[in-house]
Amino acid sequence: MSQGQPPAVASAGGQASDGPVLPQIQGLIDLGDKQTPSDFLPPHERPTLKCMSLLSDDIGPAMARLEARVRALPKSAWTREGQRATNVCINRPYHDRLGIFNIPFIFCDDGVRTVYHFPWFKKWLPELTPIFEHLNLDPARLLRCVMARLPAGVTIPTHHDTGHWVQVAHRVHCPVITNPQVFFYAGHSQDTLERFQLPLGCAVELNNAAKHRVENLGASDRVHLMLDFVDPPTLPHAVRPFPPVVRLKPTDTLVQTRRTLRLAHTIPPRTRRTEGNKEFPLCIIVGAMKAGTTSLYVLLRSYCLACFPAYLPLAHPLPLHHSFVFVVGTACCEFVLRIVFLSLSLSVYLWCVFVPNFVRRRVWCGWVWCRSGNNQLNVGR
């Protein structure tokens, strides 16, 4: 990795200087800085975090073959139909809603249980290998390798990434196609974001547990190669053992939800668990994106009466954009459950609208009700 001095750096106030603005910090970010989302930390601990670091400012020659092949791609290759033809398609609901297109080479589920190598990874290996060599990166340590195309005029709002993969992997961005009006913001909180411009020929590591935002204000699309790789086994935050690798065929189908990624033929049929003549309750976890629904599911499963696995989680169609969680348990028929679900969702939506934001962000509103025979479990806070 190059340790050359970047052409320019972002000032403390985030103002851009003449020419491309690259991070002043150099070298890999310690994964210890990614164990907790930065804005969840006490204010006195945030300034010590590294939010973006320069890994190389001369990777251009290694990127040349990839850039040429990407520029020659038809736009149809970025669509789901184009991916299904010779690769395997993945659905990324958040990216899809923003109009971002993805070409996956390697991908893992959020819990880092399985790593999938897509058919195009082998086909594009001649273009990717010079990049791996320049970064001194062993491809066997990759959890994800994806190209993302951000259309002109699209902004990715301020957010931080979540999931176990964030805590155990370095996230590297390598610009493949860009324009002078693409701006990358990163900081330990929303009000401390610094603005960077990442030109062709650089590679940076983003602390994706910190806040970040991307704007493409130009007239052309932006394409980045994103690499997520783990530390060597000798380091404290290494993934041991490395998860199993599944090599996909174009005929395979992946079923993806927010936290899971599985081959369609490995998903068991839906069954309802019973004990004697008593049927266990059907529970639904409802929440906005990154509201803690997965954590609540883990809590629920820690109790003996709820030790069975859930059905695949799905994105709900309700226009709820606030941080809340509800768990509804009932032994009634599913028709009644839907009515309860909609009623609670409407109530919580009104609660979120009228309760001030500073209160809403600090209150975890949830309740669990499970019942089997004479046993009863109540969890709430």
Tell me the per-residue pLDDT of 310-323, one tens digit each, with 9 for 90 and over: 544 544 444 444 43
- Identify the pLDDT of residue 183: 96
- Could you report the per-residue pLDDT of 157-198, keeping only the tens digit for each? 999 998 899 999 999 999 999 999 999 999 998 889 999 999
Alpha helix ranges (H) inside 99-203: 119-123, 125-134, 164-168
CATH of domain 31-261: 2.60.120.330
Structure tokens at 163: 């999931």
- Could you report the per-residue pLDDT of 79-98, keeping only the tens digit for each? 988 998 899 988 776 777 78
Q: What is the CA radius of gyration of the chain?
A: 22
- Flag whether pLDDT at 364 surpasses 60: no
- Flag whether pLDDT at 374 surpasses 70: no
pTM, entire model: 0.72
Between residues 238 and 366, which one has the greater pLDDT? 238
In the chain, where does the domain assigned CATH 2.60.120.330 lie?
Answer: 31-261
Please give the share of the chain, as a percent, with pLDDT higher than 70. Answer: 63
- Could you report the per-residue pLDDT of 208-246, keeping only the tens digit for each? 999 999 999 999 999 999 999 999 999 999 999 999 999
Reported as type and span, the H/E element at residue 36 is none
- Identify the pLDDT of residue 261: 84
- Tell me the pLDDT band of 340, cut-offs 50, 70 and 90: low
- Mean pLDDT, the chain, integer: 77
- Identify the pLDDT of residue 351: 61
E strand segments, 164-260: 169-177, 182-187, 194-196, 203-206, 211-216, 222-230, 245-247, 254-256
